[in-house]
Amino acid sequence: VAENDRPVVGVIGAGFGGLRVAMALRRAPVEVVLVDRRNYHLFQPLLYQVATAGLAPGEIAYPVRASLRAQKNLQFRLAEVARIDLAERRLYTSTGAIPYDYLVVACGAETNYYGLASVARHAVGLKDLDEAVVIRNHVLRMFELGAQERDPETRRAMLTFVVVGGGPTGVESAGALSELTRLVQLRDFAELEPQDLRVVLLEATNQLLSGIPQPLQIATAETLWQKHVEVRFGATVTDFDGYKVTLRSGEVIPARTVIWAAGARAAQLARSLEGPKGSLGRLAVEPTLQLPGHPNVYVIGDAAYWEEEGEPLPMVAPAAIQQARCAADNIIRQVRGEPPKPFVYQSPGSLATIGRNAAVAEIGRFRFRGFLAWLVWLVVHLMRLVGFRNRLVVLIYWAWDYLFYDRAVRVIMPDARWPWTVPGDDRRPGAGPNSNTS
Amino acid sequence: VAENDRPVVGVIGAGFGGLRVAMALRRAPVEVVLVDRRNYHLFQPLLYQVATAGLAPGEIAYPVRASLRAQKNLQFRLAEVARIDLAERRLYTSTGAIPYDYLVVACGAETNYYGLASVARHAVGLKDLDEAVVIRNHVLRMFELGAQERDPETRRAMLTFVVVGGGPTGVESAGALSELTRLVQLRDFAELEPQDLRVVLLEATNQLLSGIPQPLQIATAETLWQKHVEVRFGATVTDFDGYKVTLRSGEVIPARTVIWAAGARAAQLARSLEGPKGSLGRLAVEPTLQLPGHPNVYVIGDAAYWEEEGEPLPMVAPAAIQQARCAADNIIRQVRGEPPKPFVYQSPGSLATIGRNAAVAEIGRFRFRGFLAWLVWLVVHLMRLVGFRNRLVVLIYWAWDYLFYDRAVRVIMPDARWPWTVPGDDRRPGAGPNSNTS
């Protein structure tokens, strides 16, 4: 790989962490090999918008190669990393082996079902584009099937949308789902009434958005409630068979749709590495972000365990971005023969949106809520979206939604399937390409 | 269904024909039940743009319910019609039976593989959104795999893109593919050179765009050739096993990608109806577009066989739209007790684009080519796109492409799969939702 004796830096993952590491090494005397199983960088904070038909997949995903086109010392490989051989200093991938001198593990997190097999089978998480598209298609199809369903109980179950988990993803998804169903879909379904619809947010503890100050937590719950989201505290899911959600209390909620935003854990690749782990399988790192015993290996982002004032860092983009800068700097220092420096975390504040005109924000000593926080949220997210075109189109879509209560992307794509079959939907419309084989 | 004794008009299909019939019956004293297995109206003339990463699926598809929101006498049913019982006057669908008084069969066409089973299995047609997305993902993945492939023969096969059929779809696809691969993708793949790429257009006869005047046919072939499309005449495909295309001449072209635009035939539902058929399984109709022997049943669009000056009407949107108006008028006349009137076809001319700045057009006595024809094509297609938002966004995308030689939608979506597995791609990145089941 190294054609000119420069050290090779392998980077696993083109998320917020991996992409920034690659960019930060732009002028360093190294060759960067960036590996991801997707060809795009995903703007995960807006994934719930794809799931709720507000944005199209392409608006929050940007090809890695297009982002890094100008970078001469970089190669991108579309491949899945099967194994990291720390002794050999080699990645084994689906398209061959990649030797490295330095390595940055930025493979991120995956949905955590906490061992609930039935939930893992019948619910859908919200970590990648395919899941978001599957949720969108399923929700839209439930409206079409519900509108044709004569049995009132079945219809109600089809139109009950359950979100599990009161973190940012759950709160934002529940708020957006409520607006999609009540403000947008109902206009197109004369057969249905608001009374037919339920959006339920199940949270196991007694608070939403556990990281933010209590007054904002209370405001969040109140805003969701005003938007007709049934916010339920102390609600621990123990089972979902595709037809009904069962809580630990014994309560049963008939529903065909469960969006699982209740937790994440380090990706399988990180968990499979030997060494001390923090909670959720995250790899414990040195103060310099190096893997203990492997000074040429850095772990950043969701895959890394880091404590700040006794609390583990949340799995959020700003943490990954800050760690990426530190890891890239430390690699450059090591190449120069200097010792790496410890990582220092600076909290960027918290932001979460709860739909039209409503959000909560904590930035430094300032706390906002309502319309002002929503404007802050809008500007921050538009600024951060990769690529000028995306930003422009996203702005147009949002302005349209805002003015006309419409949603851009309410097309049920035939091929993306909900992982289980709804009765009455067994005859899946169109079996994909070549179903009409002669 | 009929709550008020008004006759029920069943309409099968929400394509150009079915949608216009439904709209034309807006003020008629009837109840319309529109059935489609998709929840969207597809702007098929731009489908090749989705396949070549120029537009996102949502830009050329618009929800049927959103289009017909204001229409009080209409119900939409997302369902697949399994059978038409002409005697009982009933549609049997995947969500139940629908009785009708009048029926409009506008179920369109499907890809015709002419009995070539291996082609049907390994190539992909271009009739619906899922196929377009599958083609886009596959072409983009071939670039990623080709860039990592060391064997030069394998790499060349991965980067050989074969389009079969010299009709409008084939010509437009080949032109757009050539531009995507040479002007856009090469900028992002420093590993590849123009010499690694082939775009091949295979046409069985000696002419492209058989309906238009010969000078425009020649100009079309010349323009494609200048864009580095290998235009091959007299090339009849007999086999494609996923690795190589075999022609009747014995010629073999190693290629991993075949887009099959060589033919269409009436959809299965139309072919399954009894009665006289024209070519390609299209249902012969009375001069009034009624099904012979069934005065309450109309057949329009690709499903109907209609001769104009001894030639069957082409399977194009303008024909379906004109027939839709006639069928709707005739149903209104029948409801009033008047006799139906015969259909009169007015040729709208021909238009085909061959990429940036190039198109051919014949409108009445006028023939255009080159940039002027391209402008005509652009304006005509933008005007016809359903929904103001779509038009605006499509215009922005196209302007961007034109100015920056970029493509909007180069994200490989994980879940849409090419129907066969490429060696080296056996470890499919991500098995979709819930692959990370604990």
pLDDT in tens, A256-271: 999 999 999 999 999 9
The pLDDT, as a whole number, for residue B47 is: 92
The pLDDT, as a whole number, for residue B424 is: 35
The pLDDT, as a whole number, for residue B401 is: 66
Taking contacts as CB-CB distances below 8 angstroms, the residues of chain B near A63 are 188, 410-411
Regarding pTM above 0.90, the answer is no
| Active-site residue list of B | 172
The pLDDT, as a whole number, for residue B381 is: 80
pLDDT in tens, A73-131: 999 999 999 999 999 999 999 999 999 999 999 999 999 999 999 999 899 999 998 89
B269 by Cβ neighbours in 10 Å (0-12 / 13-18 / 19+) ranks as buried
Average pLDDT, chain B: 88
Taking contacts as CB-CB distances below 8 angstroms, the residues of chain B near A144 are 39, 78
Of A131, A172, A203, A362, the active-site residue reads A172
Residues 6 or more apart whose Cβ sits within 8 Å of residue B426:
A94
For residues B239-259, average pLDDT: 96
Q: Do A131 and B433 touch (CB under 8 A)?
A: yes
Report the C-alpha gap between A316 and A48 in whole angstroms: 15
Percent of chain B exceeding pLDDT 90 equals 66
How far does B369 lie from chain A, in Å, by closest CA? 31
Q: What is the ipTM of this complex?
A: 0.84
User: Is A319 in CB contact (< 8 Å) with chain B?
Assistant: no
User: Residue A75: which H helix or E strand, with range?
Assistant: strand A74-78
Taking contacts as CB-CB distances below 8 angstroms, the residues of chain A near B15 are none
Q: Do B62 and A130 touch (CB under 8 A)?
A: no
Q: Using CB atoms, which residue from B38, B114, B188 is nearest to A69?
A: B188
Place B429 in a pLDDT band, splitting at 50, 70 and 90. Answer: very low
Nearest CA in chain B to A67: B188
Measured distance between the N- and C-terminal CA atoms of chain A, rounded to whole angstroms = 48
More confident residue, B431 or A66: A66
Task: Look at residue A388 and tell me whether its pLDDT is greater than 70.
Answer: no
User: Is B421 in CB contact (< 8 Å) with chain A?
Assistant: no
Place B282 in a pLDDT band, splitting at 50, 70 and 90. Answer: very high
The pLDDT, as a whole number, for residue B57 is: 87
Question: How many angstroms separate the Cα of B389 from the Cα of each of B128, B386, B396?
Answer: 21, 9, 11
Q: Are strands B311-312 and B350-353 parallel, antiparallel or unpaired?
A: unpaired
Q: Using CB atoms, which residue from A134, A392, A433 is nearest to B124?
A: A433
Average pLDDT, chain A: 88
Task: Look at residue B3 and tell me whether its pLDDT is greater than 90.
Answer: no
Task: Look at residue A151 and tell me whether its pLDDT is greater than 50.
Answer: yes
Residues 6 or more apart whose Cβ sits within 8 Å of residue A100:
A8, A9, A10, A33, A89, A90, A91
**DSSP H stretches of helix in B123-191:** 129-148, 152-158, 168-179, 186-188
User: Is A75 in CB contact (< 8 Å) with chain B?
Assistant: yes
**Contact by Cβ (8 Å): A322, A128:** no
Task: Look at residue B437 and tell me whether its pLDDT is greater than 50.
Answer: no
Q: Three-state SS for B60?
A: helix
Q: Do B117 and A438 touch (CB under 8 A)?
A: yes
Residues 6 or more apart whose Cβ sits within 8 Å of residue A117:
B437, B438
Nearest to residue B96, comparing CAs of B120, B115, B78, B112? B78
Tokens 């000696």: give the residue: B206
DSSP letter for A87, please: T
Nearest CA in chain B to A124: B433
Choose, out of A65, A186, A421, the residue to mutate when testing the contact with B (most B CBs < 10 Å): A65
Report the C-alpha gap between B170 and B262 in whole angstroms: 7
Q: Do A437 and B78 touch (CB under 8 A)?
A: no
Task: Look at residue B420 and tell me whether its pLDDT is greater than 60.
Answer: no
**Contact by Cβ (8 Å): A85, A172:** no
B 223-262 residues with CB below 8 A of A? none
Task: Look at residue A206 and tell me whether its pLDDT is greater than 90.
Answer: yes
Task: Look at residue A435 and tell me whether its pLDDT is greater than 60.
Answer: no
Nearest CA in chain A to B422: A95
User: Is B416 in CB contact (< 8 Å) with chain A?
Assistant: yes
How far does B299 lie from chain A, in Å, by closest CA? 21
A148 by Cβ neighbours in 10 Å (0-12 / 13-18 / 19+) ranks as buried
Question: What would the two tokens of residue B45 be?
Answer: 């003339």
Report the C-alpha gap between B129 and B416 in whole angstroms: 11
pLDDT in tens, B64-92: 998 888 899 999 999 999 999 999 999 99
Nearest CA in chain B to A110: B436
pLDDT in tens, A328-369: 999 999 999 999 999 999 988 888 888 777 888 888 888 888
Q: Using CB atoms, which residue from A75, A113, A414 is nearest to B38?
A: A414
For residues B91-104, average pLDDT: 96
**Contact by Cβ (8 Å): A292, A284:** yes
Report the C-alpha gap between A197 and A186 in whole angstroms: 9
Taking contacts as CB-CB distances below 8 angstroms, the residues of chain B near A82 are 427
